């Protein structure tokens, strides 16, 4: 039974002048030729592509240098960025408007229970929570003034201060083991849980107490 792919024993030995490793004859030998498709490079040299694999061989001198490879890779990356403008680098985004800057706040707070949102709580700002100049990506920020519908946050990226909708903020850190489900809540949901609930204490059976005693 013939092998489906080119046997490694019949790969070329370049050091010996493109000879078969097993047959010691000019490569490609008869066995290797059954698994190859001949072609020709733009430089005129003969090339061979493996029929059932990704490998190809360029016989003779290389028609490119290491510098050519770098230039080609740079061109491919530039083409990819143009095809995906919503990804970094940031110059694809509009100019950032002015935002107040501040040194890192001296406090830090880790919530201990649902609704425990205080200054110093680390959060992720969801994509779209900031001006488009900061990109359509997640940003790590510290809550400096909790509030509804917006909370003030300090952005760790550049130290700018933003007013962000609380429903665009999600807790950024917490216990790794047995993390409670409320760690996935938005700050909006946490803060709504802090609001006191008013109860109607009106008697539900007023007729029960009517009459004289």
Q: Is 123 in contact with 171 (CB distance < 8 Å)?
A: yes
Q: What is the pLDDT of residue 88?
A: 52
pLDDT at 212 (0 to 100): 46
Report d(CA 139, CA 99) in Å as an integer: 15
Say what the pLDDT of residue 213 is: 41
Distance CA 23, CA 106 (A): 74
- 10-residue stretch averages of pLDDT, the chain, 213 residues long: 80 85 90 90 83 83 71 79 61 81 91 91 92 88 94 94 95 65 89 56 44 46
pLDDT at 148: 93
Can you give the pLDDT at residue 176? 54
List the domain boundaries for the chain.
8-58, 121-194
pLDDT of the residue at 126: 92
Whether the predicted model's global pTM rises above the 0.85 cut: no
Side-chain-side CA neighbours of 58 within 13 Å: the count stands at 9
Q: Is the CB of residue 162 less than 8 Å from the CB of residue 152?
A: yes
Q: What local confidence, expressed as pLDDT, does residue 155 receive? A: 94
Helix (H) or strand (E) holding 142: strand 139-145
Quote the pLDDT of residue 91: 55
């Amino acid at each position: 039974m013939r092998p489906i792919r080119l046997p490694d024993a019949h790969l070329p030995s370049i050091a010996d002048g493109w000879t078969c490793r097993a047959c010691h004859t000019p490569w490609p030998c008869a066995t290797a030729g059954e698994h190859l498709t001949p072609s020709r490079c733009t430089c005129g040299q003969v090339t061979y592509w493996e029929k059932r694999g990704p490998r190809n061989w360029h016989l003779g001198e290389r028609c490119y240098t290491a510098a050519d490879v770098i230039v080609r890779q740079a061109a491919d990356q530039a083409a990819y960025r143009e095809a995906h403008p919503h990804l970094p680098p940031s110059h694809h985004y509009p100019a950032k408007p002015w935002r107040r800057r501040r040194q890192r706040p001296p406090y830090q707070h880790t919530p201990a229970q649902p609704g425990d949102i205080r200054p110093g709580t680390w959060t992720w700002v969801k994509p779209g929570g900031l001006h488009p100049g900061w990109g359509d990506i997640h940003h790590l920020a510290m809550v400096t003034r909790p509030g509804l519908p917006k909370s003030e946050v300090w952005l760790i990226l550049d130290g700018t201060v933003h007013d962000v909708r609380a429903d665009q903020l999600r807790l950024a850190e917490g216990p790794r083991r047995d993390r409670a489900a409320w760690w996935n809540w938005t700050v909006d949901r946490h803060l709504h849980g802090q609001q006191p609930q008013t109860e109607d204490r009106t008697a539900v059976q007023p007729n029960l107490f009517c009459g004289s005693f």
